[in-house]
């Protein structure tokens, strides 16, 4: 477990550098990374498993005692982000194709990235995971509705595919990480 903790500290301390290095490489040589497409879901699941290893059941009990914090985060997520995306499209007079893409990004759940950033900032990871899980679960309903409302476009969404993806990338890895931490920690 000490080796895992040391690896976790190293990755946490150097994460921003790795992101920048690989972002530049992917920008300069995108073909190098095309073959990794099939690894995205398992790797995101691995990241969430790592987040789960840092959590204790008591962390979620604290979130359950203050559900208004989760509700506030979810409301802010589905109001502020799409609103800012729409406002940017209006202010910069973006072409329709780009505007729809910006609004789509503004309406999508944050997923694992918010959890990683919260962990790196030593924030309330359990709260971040709870907000990410709730927004991800609401996304099949709210994302198409917001896109229709703000961009007058409709995207086909398969509820079961999205639900399975949520289980694979967010919920199952977190649960497994919490269980592993409880059993091994």
Same domain? 16 vs 69: no
Report the number of distinct structural domains present in the chain: 2
5: containing domain: 1-32
pLDDT of residue 59: 67
The answer on 116 and 43 residing in a single domain is yes
**Do 23 and 49 have their domain in common?**
no
Closest among 183, 181, 184 to 59, alpha carbons compared: 181
Backbone CA torsion sign across 30, 34, 37, 43: negative
Show Cβ contacts of residue 114 under 8 Å, excluding neighbours closer than 6 positions.
128, 131, 132
Q: Are residues 43 and 25 in the same domain?
A: no
| 26 and 84 part of one domain | no
The position carrying tokens 């990794």 is 36
Do 107 and 17 fall within a single domain? no
pTM tops 0.75, yes or no:
no
- Are residues 52 and 12 part of one domain? no
What is the distance between the terminal CA atoms of the chain, rounded to a whole angstrom?
8
Number of Cβ atoms within 10 Å of the Cβ of 42: 12
> DSSP string spanning 138-180?
HHHHHHHHHHHHHHS------HHHHHHHHIIIIIHHHHHHHHH
**pLDDT tens by residue, the chain, 185 residues:** 688 778 878 877 888 898 899 999 999 999 999 999 898 888 888 877 877 777 777 767 767 888 999 999 999 999 999 999 999 999 999 888 888 889 888 988 877 778 888 888 889 888 888 888 788 778 777 888 888 888 875 455 566 776 777 677 777 887 888 888 888 87
Query: Residue 154 has what pLDDT?
Result: 47
């Amino acid at each position: 477990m000490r080796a895992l903790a040391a690896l976790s500290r190293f990755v946490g301390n150097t994460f921003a550098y790795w992101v920048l290095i690989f972002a530049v490489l992917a920008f300069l040589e995108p073909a190098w990374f095309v073959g990794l497409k099939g690894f995205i879901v398992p790797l995101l699941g691995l990241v969430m498993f790592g987040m789960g290893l840092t959590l204790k059941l008591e962390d979620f009990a604290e979130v359950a005692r203050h559900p208004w914090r989760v509700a506030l985060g979810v409301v802010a997520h589905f109001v502020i982000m799409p609103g800012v995306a729409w406002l940017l499209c209006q202010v910069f007079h973006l072409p329709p194709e780009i505007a729809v893409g910006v609004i789509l990004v503004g309406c999508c759940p944050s997923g694992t990235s918010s959890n990683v950033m919260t962990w790196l900032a030593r924030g309330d990871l359990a709260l971040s995971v709870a907000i990410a899980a709730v927004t991800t679960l609401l996304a099949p309903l709210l994302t198409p509705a917001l896109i229709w409302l703000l961009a007058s476009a409709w995207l086909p969404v398969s509820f079961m595919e999205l639900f399975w993806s949520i289980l694979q990338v967010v919920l199952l890895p977190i649960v497994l990480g919490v269980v592993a931490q409880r059993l091994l920690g």
